[in-house]
Each structure stands twice: as C-alpha cells, then as structure tokens.
Structure 1
Amino acid sequence: MNVIDEAGVLAISTRLQRLSDLIRKDGLQIYKAHGINFEPKWFPVIYALHKKPVLSVVEIAAEIGYTHPSTISLLKELEKQKLIRSKRDKTDERKRLIQLTKKGKDLVGQMKPVWQLIVAAVTDLINTENNLMEAVSEVEDQLKKKSFTERALSLMEHQQE
C-alpha cells in the first residue's frame, strides 16, 4: 500500500484520477486493438454529437459537463483531426454550431461495436459489492445538493462555535 492509498478519503481526487487514467489508458489499447486511431479524451464530444447531431459550443459543454475552455480545447483537437466541423448559426452570428464530419460519422460507425465491448468489460469490472457507477451517481447527486466547498465551510463554522 502506498501513501496515497493510506491517505484514505483525503486522497479521493487523486485516487479517482488514477482510476480514470488506468481506464482511459486501457480504452486507448482497446481502440488500437481494433485498428481505431482514437483518443479516449475525445469520447464525450464525439458521443454527444453522435446522439445530438448539431450542438453549439455552450450546449456541448453542458452535455458533457466540462467547462467552456476545456470544451473549446477538445473541439480544436477534433477539428484538427477533421472529425468535426463548425458553422455559424444563421439566427445568431456569435454562435458556432458543431457537427460530425463524414470522417467523424465513419469513425462512430467503427467504434459502435467497440463501445459494446467496452460496456461489457466495464460492467464486469464495476460489478462489485459497492457498484462504482451507483456510488458515483450518488456522490454527484450529493454535490448537486451541496458542494464540497459548502460542506467544508459549514463544518468549519460548526467547529468555531
């Protein structure tokens, strides 16, 4: 056991990041094994545009739960790869509408069977006594009710009383 493991809940963010990195790294290997050149970090945008074919930058950020700057960064990478294209909204010139290119749609077609495999593998992985997806959902719901910061500040106030 290393010091981060020993830190328990103090290191939750580090542990979740480590878990995410491991799954993402393996995801990359799974795509490569199927001859697909795809970065797992692109998944949220590609999947959002697969499900909702035309979205503004703000809508994509909301759909994937990323900040606007993080979303812009991903969009630039995907545009460079020619997987997405943007056009100006005819009703609002300030708004950019994003959609998959033919190359992006073809990539999604290649990835769909791999997604089924990934779902099966992840389902097997998280099928533990304390199902990870259920726990993540519960924690996300708790954060919607009261942020981590609010909780810490509230505890601080109670300690001072």
Structure 2
Amino acid sequence: MNVIDESGILAISTRLQRLSEQIRKEGFLVYAANGITFEPKWFPVIYTLHLKPVLSVVELAAEIGYTHPSTITLLKELEKEKLIRSKKDKHDERKRLLQLSDKGKKLVEQMQPVWGIIIAAITELTDTQNNLMKAIVEVEQQLQDQSFFERAKAIMRKGH
C-alpha cells in the first residue's frame, strides 16, 4: 500500500482520478486492439452527438456534465480531427450547432461493436459486492441533494 491508499477517504478524489485514468488508458488499448484510433476522453461528446445529432455548445456541456471551458477544449480537438463540425444557428448567430461529421459517423459505426465488449468487461470489473456503478449513482444523488462544500460548511459550523 502507498500513502494515498492508506489515507482512506481523505484521498477519494485522487483514487477516483487514478481509477478513471487506468480505465481510460486501457479503453484506448481496447479500441486500438480493434483497429480504432480513438481517445476515450472524446467519448462523451461523440456518444452524445450520436444520440442527439444537433446540439449547441451549451446544450452539449449540460448533457455531458462538463464545464463550458472543458467542453470547448474537447470540441477543438474533435474539430481538428474532423470528427465533428459546427455551423452557426440560423435563429441565433452567436450559437454554434454541433454535429458529427461523416468521418465521425463512420467512426461511431466502427466503435459500436467495441462498445459491447467494453460494457461486458466493465460490468465484470464493477460487479462486486459494493457495485461501483450503483455507488456512483448514489453519491451523485447525494451531491445533488447537498454539495460536498455545503456539507463541509455545516460540519465547520458545528465546530467539528
């Protein structure tokens, strides 16, 4: 065990990030093993635009749960790779509407069978006594009810 592992709940953010990075890194290997060049960090944008073909930047950010700046960073990468395209909204010139390019649509076609493999492997990985997906949903609900910061402030007020 290292210091972070030994610190328990104090390092939960670090451990979740570490877990996420490992799954992303190996997800890249799964795509590569299937002849697909794809960065797993692009997944939320590609998948969302696959299901909801035309979205504004603000709508997309809300769908994936990322901040506007984080979403813009991903969009720039995906536009550079020519996987998405954008056009101005006819009703609101300030708005950009995003959609998968033809190259992006072809990529999704290649990826769909791999998603089944990923689902099976991740399900096997997370189907533990304390199912990780169920726990994530529970924690996300707790955060919606009251933020981490609000909880900490309440504890500070109690003089903990």
**TM range, smaller chain:** over 0.9
| Residue 40 (1) aligns with residue 72 (2) | no
Query: Which AA in structure 2 matches 1:83?
Result: L
Alignment root-mean-square deviation, CA: 0.6
- The alignment of Structure 1 onto Structure 2 pairs a total of residues equal to 160
Which residue in 2 is equivalent to 1:153? 153
| Structure 2 residues not aligned, in runs of 5+ | none
Residue aligned with 2:128, SS: coil
Amino acid at match of 1:65: G
Q: Deviations over 1:69-114 (max 9, x none)?
A: 0000000000000000000000000000000000000000000000
Correspondence for 1:24: 24
- TM-score of the aligned structures, taking structure 1 as reference length: 0.99
Q: Which amino acid aligns with 1:114?
A: V
Query: What is the distance in 2 between the residues matched to 1:22 and 1:100?
Result: 27
Q: Normalising by structure 2, what TM-score? A: 0.99
Between the aligned partners of 2:129 and 2:159, the Cα distance in structure 1 is: 35
- 1:33-72 alignment to 2 at 5 Å? 33-72=33-72
* Equivalent residue number for residue 73 of structure 1: 73
What is the letter of the counterpart of residue 28 of structure 1? F
Report the Cα offset of residue 159 of structure 1. Answer: 1.1
- Distance in 2, matches of 1:126 and 1:37, equals 25
Unaligned 5+ runs, structure 1: none
- Tell me the SS of whatever aligns to 1:159: coil
Partner Cα distance (1:139, 1:118) in 2: 23
Provide runs of 4+ in structure 1 moved above 6 Å.
none
Taking only the aligned residue pairs, the percentage that are identical comes to: 71
Aligned position for 1:99:
99
